Amino acid sequence: MKLERKHAVLFLLISLWNVVSYASFTKNLLSAYQRGEDRPTGYWVAHSVLIVVNLGVAAVLGRLGVRAWRATGARSADQVDSASRP
């Protein structure tokens, strides 16, 4: 599959959305913990794992987005160079 600039943008936006939404979720979860909400240990563990996994997904998508962005930029420059040659 050949990635285009639009794919890179999509990966980067999804990555950004994951970071922003899970940062807010982390803040709310930490706040609830500090208030002493009475929840089973499994609740805290499950949500903590969910946060870590989703931030990992964000990192993978962000890296893929950056690599696709750079690759499409290089490909565009190559196309311009080859088109301008006689």
The reported pLDDT for the residue numbered 83 is 43
Is the model's pLDDT at 75 over the cut of 70? no
- Cα separation, 70 vs 82, whole angstroms: 18
Coil, helix or strand at residue 3: coil
Domain boundaries, the chain: 5-81
The reported pLDDT for the residue numbered 1 is 75
**Helix orientation angle between 5-34 and 41-84, rounded to the nearest 10 degrees:** 160
Tokens of 73: 């930029």
- Cα separation, 31 vs 6, whole angstroms: 37
**Of 2, 14, 6, which is closest to residue 60 (Cα–Cα)?**
14
> pLDDT digit string (tens) for 8-66?
999 999 999 999 999 999 999 999 999 999 999 999 999 999 999 999 999 999 999 99
The reported pLDDT for the residue numbered 3 is 84
For residues 84 and 21, which has the higher predicted lDDT (pLDDT)? Answer: 21
CA 51 to chain CA mean position, Å: 12
pLDDT band at 74 (very low <50, low <70, confident <90, very high): low
